């Protein structure tokens, strides 16, 4: 009898310890219905700094299945909660890119963050999808701790996805309302933002930008956007294609635009705003619109959207006038539109 009581005591203590462990792992805030992860989401492993707390943006428990929806980025990104507005880029190392130079890539990234703060200051977040070539302690930690609007997303467990397609991942993120795919080496400009604002003021799912005579595809890898919040079914379909190993391996290297043409444009063309300054006659199955603002003056360096820094030489354009039919109807005098 005593032995049985002793066994019961051991089991009771063990069960109690397990319960304490579970409670220690999760802090349930009953007043807000929010489940907070017990570990410190503000500090990455190996970091000496901590990021700002996100008390007001933490993910609520869903009433249907009582679990936290996870972002397709990081624990910190998950804690931001729903309704995220994302600008996504890919940053990948020498394994995928022989021309990779870390110092140059970091310089471009810092320039892009400066652009973000000026052009997209209204709660847009820059997500940097990367591999292990990007060191946490020396690169990621200082940038994330300094810039609350930048999240790094490690793709090491998804390396079967071609690097230039990593940046498309937010299209399937359940916490993202707006995503835009951009290039690391291309600046964010006021001309681009004006076009984005036209898109966001509409009810269209997709956005496509074409601002050069050679932008002759439906969607460019670094010049398109999607609003997952308007159609979660299409959002999941796009993510399924990105995560399909047999499918996605066909689109390595520079084939990201082929992936968009083959697997995203079929959804996009039914609900898209396409701004096109040169190829408006070639509608790709959907009529385009002129850009809402005139092209910058010839002495400015941001001569077209999608250019790689430093791009245009002051005083010389890389192309001629835009066709009259591609100009706004109320501004036929915009020779460079």
User: Cβ distance 229 to 177 under 8 Å?
Assistant: yes
pLDDT at 158 over 80: yes
Q: Nearest-CA neighbor of 226 among 195, 181, 163?
A: 181
Statement to judge: residues 19 and 113 lie in one domain: no
Read off the pLDDT band of 128 (50, 70, 90). Answer: very high
Which structure tokens are listed for 69?
A: 């929806």
Q: Flag whether 10 is in a domain.
A: yes
Statement to judge: residues 112 and 12 lie in one domain: no
Q: Flag whether 331 is in a domain.
A: no
Q: What is the pLDDT of residue 320?
A: 86
Statement to judge: residues 18 and 145 lie in one domain: no
Q: Flag whether 265 is in a domain.
A: yes
User: Cβ distance 74 to 151 under 8 Å?
Assistant: yes
Radius of gyration over every alpha carbon of the chain, rounded to an integer in angstroms: 24
Q: Which domain holds residue 11?
A: 1-37
How far apart are the C-alpha atoms of 280 and 283, rounded to whole Å?
Answer: 6
Statement to judge: residues 84 and 165 lie in one domain: yes
Statement to judge: residues 2 and 127 lie in one domain: no
CA–CA distances in Å: residue 14 to residues 1, 2, 7, 24, 168: 20, 18, 11, 15, 46
Q: Are strands 124-130 and 176-182 parallel, antiparallel or unpaired?
A: unpaired
Q: What is the mean pLDDT of residues 28-54?
A: 65
Q: What is the pLDDT of residue 297?
A: 77
Q: What is the pLDDT of residue 15?
A: 42
Q: Hey, how many other C-beta atoms are within 10 angstroms of the C-beta on 209?
A: 28
Higher pLDDT, 223 or 103: 223
Flag the least confident range among 32-46, 63-77, 105-119. Answer: 32-46
Q: What is the pLDDT of residue 207?
A: 98
Q: Which of left, alpha, beta for 243 (phi over 0: left; psi -120 to 50: alpha)?
A: alpha
pLDDT at 327 over 80: yes
pLDDT > 90: percent of the chain: 63
Statement to judge: residues 153 and 223 lie in one domain: yes
Flag the least confident range among 69-78, 280-289, 310-319. Answer: 310-319
**Is the backbone peptide bond immediately before 28 cis, with ω within 30 degrees of 0?**
no
How far apart are the C-alpha atoms of 182 and 315, rounded to whole Å?
Answer: 26
Q: What is the pLDDT of residue 286?
A: 78
Q: What is the mean pLDDT of residues 55-61?
A: 48
Which structure tokens are listed for 175?
A: 């916490």
Q: What is the pLDDT of residue 259?
A: 98
pLDDT at 34 over 70: no
Read off the pLDDT band of 59 (50, 70, 90). Answer: very low
Q: What is the pLDDT of residue 103?
A: 84
How far apart are the C-alpha atoms of 181 and 89, rounded to whole Å?
Answer: 6
DSSP string, 293-337: SPPPPTTSS--STTPPTT-SPTT--SS-PPPGGGS-TT-TT-S--
Statement to judge: residues 1 and 104 lie in one domain: no
Residues 6+ apart with CB under 8 A from 118: 188
DSSP state, 139?
I
Q: Flag whether 93 is in a domain.
A: yes
Statement to judge: residues 270 and 128 lie in one domain: yes
Q: What is the pLDDT of residue 100?
A: 60
How far apart are the C-alpha atoms of 185 and 309, rounded to whole Å?
Answer: 6
Q: Nearest-CA neighbor of 99 among 213, 229, 205, 253?
A: 253
pLDDT at 150 over 90: yes
CATH number, domain with residue 261? 3.90.550.10
How far apart are the C-alpha atoms of 190 and 115, rounded to whole Å?
Answer: 9
How far apart are the C-alpha atoms of 140 and 263, rounded to whole Å?
Answer: 32
Domain count, the chain: 2
Tokens 């980025």 correspond to what residue?
Answer: 73
| Average pLDDT, rounded, for the chain | 84
pLDDT at 290 over 70: yes
């Amino acid at each position: 009898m005593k032995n049985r009581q002793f066994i019961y005591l051991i089991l009771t203590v063990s069960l109690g310890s397990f319960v304490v462990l579970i409670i220690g792992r999760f802090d349930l805030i009953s007043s807000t219905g929010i489940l907070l992860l017990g570990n410190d989401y503000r500090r990455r492993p190996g970091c000496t700094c901590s990021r700002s707390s996100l008390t007001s943006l933490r993910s609520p428990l869903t009433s249907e299945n009582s679990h936290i929806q996870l972002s397709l980025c990081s624990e910190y990104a998950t804690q931001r909660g729903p309704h995220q507005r994302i600008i996504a880029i890919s940053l990948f190392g020498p394994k995928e890119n022989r021309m990779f130079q870390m110092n140059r890539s970091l310089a471009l990234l810092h320039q892009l963050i400066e652009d973000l703060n000026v052009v997209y200051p209204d709660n847009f977040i820059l997500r940097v999808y990367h591999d292990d070539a990007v060191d946490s302690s020396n690169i990621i930690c200082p940038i994330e701790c300094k810039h609350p609007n930048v999240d790094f997303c490690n793709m090491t467990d998804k390396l079967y996805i071609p690097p230039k397609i990593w940046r498309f991942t937010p299209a399937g993120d359940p916490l993202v309302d707006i995503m835009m795919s951009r290039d690391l080496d291309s600046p964010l400009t006021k001309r681009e933002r004006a076009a984005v604002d036209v898109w966001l003021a509409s009810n269209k799912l997709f956005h496509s930008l074409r601002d050069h005579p050679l932008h002759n595809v439906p969607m460019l890898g670094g010049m398109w956007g999607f609003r997952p919040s308007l159609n979660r079914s299409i959002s999941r379909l796009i993510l399924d294609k990105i995560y399909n190993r047999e499918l996605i391996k066909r689109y390595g290297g520079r084939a990201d635009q082929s992936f968009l043409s083959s697997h995203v444009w079929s959804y996009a063309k039914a609900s898209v705003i396409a701004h096109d300054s040169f190829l408006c006659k070639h509608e790709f199955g959907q009529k385009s619109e002129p850009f809402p603002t005139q092209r910058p003056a010839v002495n400015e360096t941001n001569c077209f959207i999608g250019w790689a820094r430093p791009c245009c030489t002051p005083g010389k354009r890389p192309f001629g006038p835009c066709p009259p039919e591609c100009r706004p109807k109320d501004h036929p005098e915009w020779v460079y539109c």
